[in-house]
Amino acid sequence: MNSGRARVPVVFQHGLCGSAAQATEAFPDDADLHLWTLECRGHGRTAAGPIADLSIASFADDVVALIECEGLAPIVLGGISMGAAMALRIAVRRPALVRALILVRPAWVTESAPANMQPNAEVGEWLARCTPEQARARFAQGATAQRLAAESPDNLASLMGFFDRQPQAVTAALLQRIAADGPGVSPDEVRAVTVPALVIGHEADAIHPMDHARRLAALLPQAELVEITPKSVSRDAYVHDLHTAIRRFTRNLPP
């Protein structure tokens, strides 16, 4: 768990196979904000536990436990990709805990196993069957890697990094199980979420399609949609744009 000094507490979660470092990079260094990040099971320094419990629902339950244990509610809640799915689930299932939402590069809207998550599942399948070296070579030779090299090189770089991630069995399980999972909410339930929401996306991202961000923003009654610089264009500009959007959104929240 990572926290810092500030006034407004924000729980902001990393993405699939990420860690607190990903959330820290994505979040602005602002004296008015207090960042909390819980590393999910099988991520960062947190043990995986039973493989059967690796799910968006269980990860979300762990975040709820953090919020309640620390007495943070109502909280500004958000995350990147899988973290955004967790935040959306909590906002639907436990609305009293959530003051506002920050959903960055969502990989899900409401459906489970969306087609955009198939590259993660494919990497997981290779890791479950081969050594990391064999898995990397076979994935790199396939159609998915060739397509991503042309369409979304940043996605491909992230996927190739998974072949070095340890433990291998946990990485394989995470990629396969979470790719087949979803936030477990319906469009009507999302429409009933009335807190202010910031939805952030960018183009040139096959795993986190900008269309997902647009669809979520259309479902959430009080959502603001912000499009930022793609990481594949400039990582520095991506981080700058992300920090700017989050800082402006949190400063404009009603008391």
Give percent of the chain above pLDDT 90.
95
Instruction: Delimit the domains of the chain by residue range.
Output: 8-114+182-251, 115-177
Which residue do the tokens 């590393």 mark?
A: 39
Which residue do the tokens 């990420």 mark?
A: 18
pLDDT at 164: 97
**Which CATH superfamily groups domain 8-114+182-251?**
Alpha/Beta hydrolase fold, catalytic domain (3.40.50.1820)
31 pLDDT band (50/70/90 cuts)?
A: confident
Q: Kindly report which listed range (5-9, 134-138, 190-194) carries the lowest average pLDDT score.
A: 5-9
Average pLDDT for residues 221-235, to the nearest whole number?
96
Average pLDDT for residues 39-62, to the nearest whole number?
98
Encode 34-72: b = buried (16+ Cβ within 10 Å), e = exposed. Answer: bbbbbbbbbbbebebeeeeebbbbebbbbbbebbeeeeb
Beta bridge partners of 217: none
Q: Kindly report which listed range (15-19, 25-29, 110-114, 210-214) carries the lowest average pLDDT score.
A: 25-29
pLDDT at 4: 42
Q: What is the pTM of this model?
A: 0.95
CA distance 110 to 212: 10
Give percent of the chain above pLDDT 70.
98
